Amino acid sequence: MAIGWKPPRASRAGRAGWAPAMFLAPFGVLFTLFFLLPIGYAIYQSLFKVHVSGLGLGPSSTATVFAGFSNYAQVFSDPSFWQGVARVLLFGIVQIPVMLAFATILALLLDSAAVRFRRFFRLAFFLPYGIPGVIAAILWSFLYLPGLSPVVAALHDTGFGTVNFLGANSALWSIANIVTWEYTG
C-alpha cells in the first residue's frame, strides 16, 4: 500500500449512506411496533361488531361480524360525539392561551432584576410538573370534594354558597385548573 492511499470513493459513499439508516432503525422498529401497529389494529377492530346473545345468566355466545363503516356512521351521527368534540376544542382554545400567558408572566417575573429568592420561585414554579399525576389527582380531589375541601368551606363561609367544582357545568374548568397548575411551570 502506498502512503496516502484512500479507498475508492464509491465504497466510502456507500457506507456513509447506510449510517443514518442504522441509527434510525431502532427508532423505526419501536415506533412501528408500539405506535403504528396498535393504531392499525384499532382501525381494523373498529370495522367489526360483536353480537352477544343471552342475558348473562346462562351460556351466552358471541359472534364477531364485519360491520364496515357502519360503526363510523353511527358515531358521526351521534350528537353526544359532536358535543364531546366541541368540549375538547373549547378546552384547547381556552387552555392553551391561558397556560402560555401564565408561563410568559412567570418567565418574565423570574427574569426581572427586582425578584428576590429567585431559586425558591424557580423551584416553586417547576415543582407541580415534577409531582406524579396520581399524587396531583389525589391532591386536587381533596381540594374539590365539597365535604373535605378547605377551599369549598372558605367559599361557603364568605357567602358564596356551596360551590361544586365537580358539577356538570364546572368539571371542565376544574380540569383546566389542574392542567394549568401542573404544566405552566
pLDDT of residue 10: 55
Out of 86-95, 104-113, 140-149, 173-182, the most confident range is 86-95
Residue 178 has pLDDT above 70, yes or no: yes
pLDDT of residue 159: 87
Q: What is the mean pLDDT of the chain?
A: 85
DSSP of 3-72, one letter per residue?
TT----HHHHHHHHHHHHHHHHHHHHHHHIIIIIHHHHHHHHHTTEEEEEES-SSS--EEEEEE-TTHHH
pLDDT of residue 112: 76
Residue 13 has pLDDT above 60, yes or no: no
Note if the pTM is more than 0.85: no
Span 40-64, average pLDDT: 84
